Structure 1
């Protein structure tokens, strides 16, 4: 067994470049796992910097100084975010409050429907089974409500952290974009000399991550806006709130769409019942999901969608479990990173002499 492992190590890591790449990955993963909470503002700043680097670079190519271009793009970006927040937050907040108020009515209607099932199907469903099931669900609902209240109270202490984010993150984004070349040169000085594979994988992932972040933001905006408009035209309650949920559900491939279908179906069923209007709501929703998965995603992520859906789901579960939201957000580029690493290490097999040549 040890001989097999030794031969495998010789095949994959006898090249110092491959070994340095492995050590860098292990060090980076360990750092993010242990210090991810502390470094969260830095990660947020890096995501925004990736998002805004292209317009800054385009302005620089047109003769605008990088410092001035960075300032202009940041001002426009945060102004748009501020206007969007001022416009949407009051509506989302109001609809969220109304939705919470409607939950008891929705649950009471569901209980009435369940209680009527034994009368409709006396030979199939027993009354005792329905009562025990509703009792168990009621306990879970009460526990969930208490959890939500406790989380809401504890989140008051995060206001200071939000203020810190509002100050530190824009500053870090500004310096990351303005002094991008300085930081890249500094990183290259720290890296070991045996970095051929590090540079190869780094260049590939730099393009992948940049395209992924911009594409994901565009996808969230398009899907959220189209869904909100469609639900509003269909006069569905909480249209903006549900549209925002559908927009952010694209962060979690496959799983997000399945989960967000539940509140959409519940609200539509509670408002319209089993009528044609409910059918139209679900049909439009399914059409939006189909267009997103079969048209928008291939256009925005032409390289990422080459990954098998099973790999993407496993990546979401694995990296989401390790790093929470950001693990889910970067699940696809991280899965692509694993694929790039396998590609980078695989050629090492052909570059080594066989045992007969030794």
Structure 2
């Protein structure tokens, strides 16, 4: 057994660079797992700076100085940040409060709709089934209400943490943008001078991850904004809340669109019933999803991520379970990174060919 293990190590870790990269990956994974909560503002600022770096590069290509480019992009970021903080979040918070205030009426309508099903479909639905459904509905509503109350109480001490985010994240974003070259040179100085495998992985992943993250952020804004405008024109209640949910649903491939269809259909049903307005709502929602999948996604992600759907779903489940929302958001880039590492990793055949 020891001989087999030594042989396996020699086959896949004969290269010094592979050993160093393995150590770096393990250290990074341990740091995120053990200190992820403490370093969350730093990670959030790094993601935002990563998104904004493309705008800085475009301004520099137009012969603007680095400091001026960073200042203009940072001013745009602060303006967007204030719009979200002072306009979007209060609007969504107001709609969430009104939704919980209207829940008793919705529950009563649901009970009435379920109670008449045995009379309308006596051969398919029984009174016992309806009773089970109503009990399940009541239990789920009770659990949601208890979670909302506990979340409201627990969020009081977390208000200090929110203030820390509001102050620290913009400051960190500014310095990440301003000193990106210095930080990159410092990080490169810690690595071996001869690092062909690391350079190959970096060249393969840098543009692809940057395009994916920026494209996904743009997709969230476009899909969420279009959904809000369409639902507001149709007169759908809680249009801002539904627009936020539909926008965030694009983060989870294959699953998000199917899951968010449920609240859209439920709110439409409780507002109009099985009327023409409900049909129009679902048709408009289906058109938005179709345009997103067939027009917007190919336009934003011209370089398709060459991953099997099973690999994407597994990556979403694994990284989402480890790091929550950010794990889901970066599931595809992380899976692509793992694939790039497997492709660039030194092979035993390469060792034999170089020795011969």
TM-score, scaled relative to structure 2: 0.92
| Counterpart residue number, 1:348 | 347
| Counterpart residue number, 1:331 | 331
After superposition, the C-alpha distances for 1:224-250 in whole angstroms (9 at most, x for unaligned) are 111111112222222222112101111
The separation in 1 between residues aligned to 2:126 and 2:3, in whole angstroms, is: 63
Task: Report how far residue 283 of structure 1 moved.
Answer: 1.2
More moved, 30-39 vs 126-135: 126-135
The separation in 1 between residues aligned to 2:319 and 2:302, in whole angstroms, is: 22
| Counterpart residue number, 1:303 | 303
Q: Is the 8 A contact 1:219 1:296 kept in 2?
A: yes
Unaligned runs of 5+ in 1: none
Instruction: Determine if the alignment matches structure 1 residue 173 to structure 2 residue 173.
Output: yes
The separation in 2 between residues aligned to 1:54 and 1:136, in whole angstroms, is: 49
After superposition, the C-alpha distances for 1:191-229 in whole angstroms (9 at most, x for unaligned) are 244532122212332222221221111101110111111
| Counterpart residue number, 2:108 | 108
CA root-mean-square deviation? 2.1
More moved, 333-342 vs 159-168: 159-168
| Counterpart residue number, 1:263 | 263
| Counterpart residue number, 1:125 | 125
The separation in 1 between residues aligned to 2:212 and 2:46, in whole angstroms, is: 13
Secondary structure of 2:350 counterpart: coil
Q: 1:113 to 1:12 in 2, by over 3 A?
A: same
After superposition, the C-alpha distances for 1:57-111 in whole angstroms (9 at most, x for unaligned) are 2333334332232122111221123134433233322222222222222222111
The separation in 1 between residues aligned to 2:43 and 2:209, in whole angstroms, is: 13
After superposition, the C-alpha distances for 1:238-278 in whole angstroms (9 at most, x for unaligned) are 22221121011112222211111111000111222222221
Task: Report how far residue 20 of structure 1 moved.
Answer: 2.0
After superposition, the C-alpha distances for 1:317-351 in whole angstroms (9 at most, x for unaligned) are 00000111111111110011111111112x62431
Unaligned runs of 5+ in 2: none
Q: Is the 8 A contact 1:212 1:301 kept in 2?
A: yes
Q: Is the 8 A contact 1:312 1:331 kept in 2?
A: yes
| Counterpart residue number, 2:30 | 30
Q: Is the 8 A contact 2:56 2:69 kept in 1?
A: yes
Task: Report how far residue 123 of structure 1 moved.
Answer: 4.1
Q: Is the 8 A contact 2:305 2:336 kept in 1?
A: no
The separation in 1 between residues aligned to 2:130 and 2:4, in whole angstroms, is: 58
| Counterpart residue number, 1:215 | 215
The separation in 1 between residues aligned to 2:90 and 2:351, in whole angstroms, is: 64
Aligned length: 355
| Counterpart residue number, 2:17 | 17
Task: Report how far residue 151 of structure 1 moved.
Answer: 0.9
Secondary structure of 1:351 counterpart: helix
The separation in 1 between residues aligned to 2:209 and 2:203, in whole angstroms, is: 10
More moved, 102-111 vs 46-55: 102-111
The separation in 2 between residues aligned to 1:84 and 1:170, in whole angstroms, is: 14
Q: Is the 8 A contact 2:319 2:328 kept in 1?
A: yes
Q: 1:296 to 1:2 in 2, by over 3 A?
A: farther
Q: Is the 8 A contact 2:48 2:173 kept in 1?
A: yes
How is 1:169-318 mapped onto 2 (pairs within 5 angstroms)?
Answer: 169-193=169-193, 195-318=195-318
The separation in 1 between residues aligned to 2:289 and 2:123, in whole angstroms, is: 39
The separation in 1 between residues aligned to 2:89 and 2:42, in whole angstroms, is: 25
The separation in 2 between residues aligned to 1:144 and 1:230, in whole angstroms, is: 28
